[in-house]
Amino acid sequence: MTTPQGEFPRPLTPEEAKSRRSRNVAIALGIVFLIVLFYVVTVTKLGLGVVIRPSI
């Protein structure tokens, strides 16, 4: 959605704002899921010794 130079974009309708918020929440949940997945895969591949290190 482009606007001519010098003009501000029009305000969002309530439906558009709700849609944008839902999309942002879905993206945030997807990112959190990927972070947790990468953590679990890393711990699984390297073993719990990486997380629980013996004190020296």
The answer to the question of residue 25 being in a domain is: yes
pTM of the predicted protein model: 0.66
Residue 24 has pLDDT above 90, yes or no: yes
pLDDT beyond 80 at 55: no
Residue 28's pLDDT is: 98
Number of domains in the chain: 1
Look at residue 42 and tell me if it is in a domain.
yes
Q: Rg of the chain over CA atoms, in angstroms? A: 22
Q: Which domain covers residue 29, as residue numbers?
A: 16-56
Q: Is residue 6 part of a domain?
A: no
Please write the tens of the pLDDT for every residue from 1-16: 566 666 778 898 999 9
Half-sphere exposure in the Cβ direction for 44 (13 Å, CA): 6
Look-up: residue for tokens 């895969």? 41
**Residue 28 located in a structural domain:** yes
Give the span between the Cα atoms of 32 and 40, in whole angstroms. 12
CB 46 within 8 A of CB 38: no
Considering the domain boundaries, does residue 3 fall inside one? no
Residue 8 belongs to some domain of the structure: no
